[in-house]
Structure 1
Amino acid sequence: MWGDAMNFFFLLVRELKYFTNFQNKMYQFLLFFQPLMFLAIVYFLQQMRGGVNVEKFVVASALISMWSYVLYSSGSALIAQKWSDTLKLLIAAPVSLFQVILTKAISNAFIALLSMILSFVYARFIFQLPVGIQDYGLFFLSVLVLLFSLSVVGMILAIVFVAFQNVFDYQNLILIPVLLICGVFVPVDSLPWVFRAIAFVIPMTWGIQGVYETLALSPQMFTTMGIALLISVVYFLLSVLIIKRMEMVLRNHGSLGAI
Structure 2
Amino acid sequence: MTVSRALRLTVVGVRTHVSYMSRSPLEITFAVLVPLVYATLAVYLFRAADNPDRLLTAAVGAGLMGIWSSVLFGSGGAVQNQRWLGTLETLVSSPTPLSLVLLPITLATAVIGTYAMGATVLWGAVLFDVPLDFAHPLLFPVAVPVCVLSLGMMGLLLAATFVLLRNANALANPLDAPVWLLSGLLVPVTVLPDWTRPVSWVLPTTWGSRAVHAATSGGAGVGEVLTPMIVALALGAVYALVAVLVLGRVELRARAAATLSLA
Same fold? TM cut 0.5: yes
Map of 2:76 onto structure 1 = 75
Q: Distance in 2 between matches of 1:179 and 1:173?
A: 11
- Structure 2 gap segments, 5+ residues each: none
Give 2:27's aligned residue: 27
- Between stretches 110-119 and 236-245, larger displacement belongs to 236-245
Q: Alignment identity in percent?
A: 26
**CA shift at 1:227, angstroms?**
1.4
Q: Is the Cα–Cα contact under 8 Å of residues 76 and 161 in structure 1 kept in the other structure?
A: no
| 1:37-56 pair list within 5 angstroms | 37-45=37-45, 48=48, 50-52=50-52, 53-56=54-57
Deviation at 1:177, TM superposition (A): 1.3
| 3-state SS of paired residue (1:137) | coil
Mapped contact 2:204–2:236 kept (Cα < 8 A): yes
Q: Which amino acid aligns with 2:29?
A: F
RMSD: 2.6
What is the one-letter code of the residue matched to 2:238? V
Partner of 1:98: 99
Shift of 1:3: 4.5
**For residue 235 of structure 1, what is the amino acid of its counterpart?**
Y
Distance (whole Å) between structure 1 residues aligned to residue 248 and residue 79 of structure 2: 14
* Structure 1 residues 138 and 234: CA distance shift in structure 2, 3 A: same
Number of the residue aligned with 2:226: 222
Counterpart of 1:165 in structure 2 is: 166
Instruction: Please report how far the alpha carbon of residue 85 of structure 1 lies from its aligned counterpart in structure 2 after TM superposition.
Output: 1.8
Q: Does 2:50 correspond to 1:12? A: no
* Separation in 1, partners of 2:161, 2:195: 23
- Contact residue 80 and residue 167 of structure 2 kept, 8 A: no
Aligned residues: 255
Tell me the equivalent position of 2:110. 109
Question: Take 1:196 and 1:224, find their aligned partners in 2: how far apart are those partners?
Answer: 15
Structure 1 unaligned spans of 5+: none
Residue 87, structure 1, aligned to residue 91, structure 2: no
Q: For residues 245 and 172 of structure 1, do their structure 2 counterparts lie closer, same or farther at Cα, with a shift above 3 Å needed?
A: closer
CA distance in 2, matches of 1:170, 1:246: 15
Alpha-carbon spacing, 1:30–1:193, altered in 2? closer, same or farther (3 Å): same
TM-score by length of 1: 0.87
TM-score, length basis structure 2: 0.85
Deviations 1:75-131 (A, max 9, x none): 333233223321011123342211110111111111111221122122222332224
Name the counterpart of 1:200: 201
Report the Cα offset of residue 138 of structure 1. 0.6
Secondary structure class of the residue paired with 2:207: helix
